[in-house]
Amino acid sequence: MNKPKILVTGASKGIGLAIANQLKSNFQILAHASSLESLHPFGDDVELIAADLSDPIQLQNFCKELKSKHSEDLVAVINNAGLTFDKPIIFQSEKDIDLMMAVNLKAPIMISKTAMKIFSVKGKGTIINISSCVAQTGNAFQAVYSATKAGLIAFSKSLAKESGAINSDNQIRVLSVAPGLIETAMTNRIPEKEMQKYLEFVPAHRLGKAEEMAALVEFLLSDKAAYINGSCIDMNGGMF
């Protein structure tokens, strides 16, 4: 029997890479990033899939391939790929706004739509959308990013309800996770002085680790979390 398969988007680095590494002993991982070159951290034990999620044609082909090649074994999708361009809204270009909307919100919606088609047939499956703490608190210079991440929380809650409305014996779960400051390329870009200011609000006075996020995702995928559905789980060290 084939190993159950999990798609992790944005698996080339940071949180996505940690999730893929954490899960790969028990699952067949389908690791996604914008290009095959950026997926170099993986060996033969991981399947690779590349698509620039900001490109509607590549997104469409990615979803088609997910359904045609991976339906049989797919048990979960982790929508983790994301990007941010931190700027005051008055300086935010329409191109960057479109990019954040496309990668952070539209792509997870289209990938979840495909996953729901697959999971509805089986009556089970899990979707985890990686949101952000700023979705609930707001953050200066991240207005658009925060809006995309807030959209993911509402989308997850709605989809969780929808799966129950459609399937009488429903074992489909849709969740979101809202990380605080996690040590990755995304937070490495924050200037030291600004970071120190943020850390004053974190009781542990440290960044979270990508591996800690991966451990949470592993738990949420497990049967132990079978009654957690629709929720947004915070992991921010007590920051908010």
Query: Is 103 near ligand NAP (CB under 6 A)?
Result: yes
Q: What is the DSSP string of 190-202?
A: S-HHHHHHHHTTS
Q: Select 12 or 112, whichever has its Cβ closest to ligand NAP.
A: 12
Query: Is 187 near ligand NAP (CB under 6 A)?
Result: yes
Q: Select 95 or 224, whichever has its Cβ closest to ligand NAP.
A: 95
Query: Is 59 near ligand NAP (CB under 6 A)?
Result: no
Choices 8-16, 69-77, 111-119, 225-233; region in contact with ligand NAP by CB under 6 A: 8-16
Q: How many CB atoms lie within 10 A of CB 94?
A: 7
Query: Is 38 near ligand NAP (CB under 6 A)?
Result: yes
DSSP state of 123: T
Among 4, 71, 73, 83, binds ligand NAP (CB under 6 A): 83
* CA dist., res. 32 & res. 53, Å (int): 10
Asked about 145 being catalytic, the answer comes back as: yes
Residues 113/63, Cβ–Cβ less than 8 Å: yes
Query: Is 185 near ligand NAP (CB under 6 A)?
Result: yes
Structure tokens at 210: 């990508």
Query: Is 167 near ligand NAP (CB under 6 A)?
Result: no
Burial of residue 109 (CB within 10 Å: 0-12, 13-18, 19+) is middle
Query: Which residues are CB-neighbours of 108 under 8 A, at least 6 positions away?
Result: 9, 79, 129, 152, 155
Task: Give the footprint of ligand NAP on this chain (CB under 6 A).
Answer: 10-16, 33-35, 38, 52-54, 80-83, 103, 130, 132, 179, 181-182, 184-187
Which residues are catalytically annotated? 145
